[in-house]
């Protein structure tokens, strides 16, 4: 994957595959654990783990993650998400 996210249409509708590296970098920049990101995004830790394994997640889940990360913007991830 070249960007932070890839959007496709799956059996359950619009799905997003996130870049695990971009999410981990954004968390590291903020001093957050992945559990903290899941809490701030109001998603379960297993759902975040699924996303970070490169599995497709619902667009709403990706939006929640992006919104949580915008609480303290990462220069790299915010720029990349805006381009996607």
Model pTM? Answer: 0.74
Per-domain residue ranges of the chain? 5-83
Structure tokens at 36: 């903290």
Residue 81 has a pLDDT of: 65
Mean pLDDT for the chain? 83
Question: In whole angstroms, what is the distance from residue 70 CA to residue 65 CA?
Answer: 9
- The SS3 assignment for 72 reads coil
- Reported as a pLDDT band with limits 50, 70 and 90, residue 41 is very high
Report residue 20 as tokens: 């695990």
Of 1-15, 36-50, 55-69, which range is least confident?
Answer: 1-15
CA angle 54, 55, 59 (to 5 degrees): 105
* Cβ(37)–Cβ(68) below 8 Å: yes
CATH fold of 5-83: 434 Repressor (Amino-terminal Domain) (1.10.260)
């Amino acid at each position: 994957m070249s960007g932070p996210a890839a959007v496709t249409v799956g059996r359950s509708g619009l799905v997003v595959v996130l870049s695990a590296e971009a999410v981990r970098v954004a968390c590291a920049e903020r001093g957050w654990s992945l559990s903290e990101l899941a809490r701030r995004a109001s998603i379960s830790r297993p759902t975040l783990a699924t996303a970070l394994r490169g599995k497709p997640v619902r667009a709403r889940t990706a939006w929640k993650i992006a919104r949580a990360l915008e609480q303290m913007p990462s220069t790299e991830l915010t720029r990349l998400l805006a381009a996607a």
